[in-house]
Amino acid sequence: MIHSVAHPQTRALHRAHVKRRRRTWFIMTGVVGAALFLWASGYFGDVIWPALGDAILRTTYRLLVAYGIALLLGVSIALLVGWSPLADLFFPLFDILQNIPSFALFPFFIYFFGSTDWMIILFAVSSIIWPILFAVLTAIKSAHKDLSDAATIFGARGVKRVYRYLAPLSFPAMLTGSVVGIAIGWEAVIGSEIISNISGFGTFIKGVDISGVSPSAIAGALGILVIVFVINRLVWAPLLTESAKRYAE
């Protein structure tokens, strides 16, 4: 958009972003180059690629489903609570809930859902949901009173208030909450795969020789790195850019 780039502040922001993006690509090119070099030199000869691919796909699938559910649930709950006058009552409750270490509840998830895909997904949901829920709720609660008053005065009342005011207001928070949530989600999914032996990336790295850094372990780490990079570049970076442009004060 011409007008936003023409604005000096936005232009500086844009430049910084492009610079950062270049640096990320630079690092990524280095990583891929090193990986190709290792591969060409036969370092990865013993790696069972189909097993690794399968493991990463399973783990990524669980993570994405869990993230989808957590996003829907977390944002809905935060919007509802933020919309109601009871928000202040719910805050301490959520605070206690999110402070329980997720893995402490792992036995209950196994007990209720068995050793299934859904057990891992729901367990991951219970970790991912908190950063999203808190980010959105905090954004709603910390919005300038004038902005909230303006929404009321100009008619954003009732249900309309949720999707015409609260939802767009908390969009940047939803983004940052998601970035943190997904990072936690990887750990939750991989961790629960390791504990429950349900096959995925967790069982893959458990299966390889974890006492040393084996070619399989390195291949696995590279695989995850590529996925994380792709999600960041394709999803978060454009959304964060758009959000920074629109929500800049």
Partner 1 sequence: MPSDPHAMPLILSRVSAAFADEADGVLALKDVSFSVPAGSFTSIIGPSGAGKSTLMRVILGLMPHESGTVVRNFSRSAMVFQNYALFPWLTALENVAFGLRMQGAGRTERERAAREKLKEVGLERFESHYPAALSGGQRQRVGLARALAVSPDLLIMDEPFSNLDTITAEALKADLLRIWRAYGMTILMVNHLIPDAIELSDQIIVMGAHPGHIENIVSIDLPRPRDTRSPKFFMQIDALTEVVRSIS
Binding site for partner 1 (CB under 8 A): 3-4, 7, 10, 144, 146-147, 149-157, 160, 164-165, 168-169, 171, 245-249
Q: Using the minimum distance from each CB to partner 1, give the nearer residue, 164 or 206.
A: 164
Closest separation between CB of residue 246 and partner 1, Å?
A: 5
Yes or no: say if 66 and 124 are a contact pair by the CB < 8 Å rule: yes
Closest separation between CB of residue 126 and partner 1, Å?
A: 30
Please name which of 54, 90, 66, 80 lies closest in space to residue 220, comparing C-alpha atoms. Answer: 54
Distance CA 109, CA 140 (A): 31
Closest separation between CB of residue 154 and partner 1, Å?
A: 4
Q: Using the minimum distance from each CB to partner 1, give the nearer residue, 199 or 243.
A: 243
Q: Using the minimum distance from each CB to partner 1, give the nearer residue, 41 or 88.
A: 88
Instruction: Please name the helix (run of DSSP H) or strand (run of DSSP E) that holds residue 11, with its range, or none.
Output: helix 8-40
The owner of tokens 């189909």 is 50
Q: Using the minimum distance from each CB to partner 1, give the nearer residue, 4 or 232.
A: 4
Q: Using the minimum distance from each CB to partner 1, give the nearer residue, 150 or 213.
A: 150
Q: How many helices (H) and strands (E) does the chain have?
A: 13, 0
Closest separation between CB of residue 228 and partner 1, Å?
A: 28
DSSP conformation letters of 199-229: SSHHHHHHHS-TTS--HHHHHHHHHHHHHHH
The owner of tokens 């709720």 is 137
Q: Using the minimum distance from each CB to partner 1, give the nearer residue, 156 or 195.
A: 156
Closest separation between CB of residue 146 and partner 1, Å?
A: 4
Closest separation between CB of residue 159 and partner 1, Å?
A: 12
Q: How far is residue 52 from each of residues 56, 57, 183, 228, 229, measured CA to CA in Å?
A: 6, 8, 20, 16, 18
